[in-house]
Amino acid sequence: MQSKRGRLDRFLSNHLGVKRKDVRLMLAKNRVVVDGVTAADIGLSIDEFSHIVLDNQRVLQVNKPVYIMLHKPVGVVSATKDDLHRTVIDLLERPDKATLHIVGRLDLNTSGLLLLTNDGRWSRQLTSPESKVTKSYKVTLKNSLAEPYIEAFAQGMYFSYEDITTEPAKLEIISEYVAHVNLTEGRYHQIKRMFGRFRNPVLQLHRMSIGCLSLDSTLLPGESRNLTPQEVESIHR
């Protein structure tokens, strides 16, 4: 999405209906905080995703950022356009849906928590390799699980195609055919390929959570809801 940049003083004077010199005074009195830092420069460049606080109150902008959690069903593609399959965007009924992008895709036959937003800064923080946000999956397998899987996932696996070794992953055996897996990265078909090392096909894959945000259990497959402001803030922790 194109970001709309502008000057802090212009935005505050329009938004609050005050003169620019009044905005200057607000800044001189340290009353304005932008993205967690007290604003000193009236010409500071902001956009619609800048977090602006005046006297400890969030100043909401017209072009509000949007953050959505969707319960992705199996058989729907994590893309904004597709010639063959229904897309996750097709599942949404909202006028602004064309402005949204997907934060960390799931395979066609994977279900579970999918995030969508129009805030590129937020999604980059979640998906950048440095952020190492934990994604938790429930995996149902064709063959029995065994203890050696735990060590192999924790050690990391070498994928020659990309010439990388996967980050340590936590595997917990829940029952004979069901495991929970925590990943801090998102390589192509990663979980299926990791179980592939044991020649154990994945029958079902479901993402349960991203960071500390779990899929809302009241959402049926295909349903979505806005994140609360607390969820938006908390997910990076």
Binding site for ligand URA (CB under 6 A): 106-107, 110, 189-192, 205
Strand partners, 170: 182
Which residue matches tokens 């928590």? 113
Catalytic residue among 47, 82, 90, 107: 107
Angle (CA) 16 18 19, round 5°:
145
Tell me the closest approach of the beta carbon of residue 176 to ligand URA, in angstroms: 21
Q: Which is nearer to ligand URA, 47 or 107 (CB)?
A: 107
Is 90 marked active-site?
A: no
- From the CB of 77, what's the least distance to ligand URA, in Å? 11
Taking the complex as a whole, the smallest distance from the CB of residue 192 to ligand URA amounts, in Å, to: 4
CB of 32 or CB of 191, closer to ligand URA: 191
**Residue 46 and residue 12 in contact, taking contact as beta carbons nearer than 8 Å:** no
**Is the CB of 110 or the CB of 118 nearer to ligand URA?**
110
- Can you point out the beta strands (E) in the chain? 6-7, 32-34, 37-38, 45-46, 52-54, 57-58, 67-72, 101-103, 110-117, 135-141, 158-159, 164-165, 170-173, 178-183, 202-210, 213-214, 224-226
Catalytic residue IDs:
107
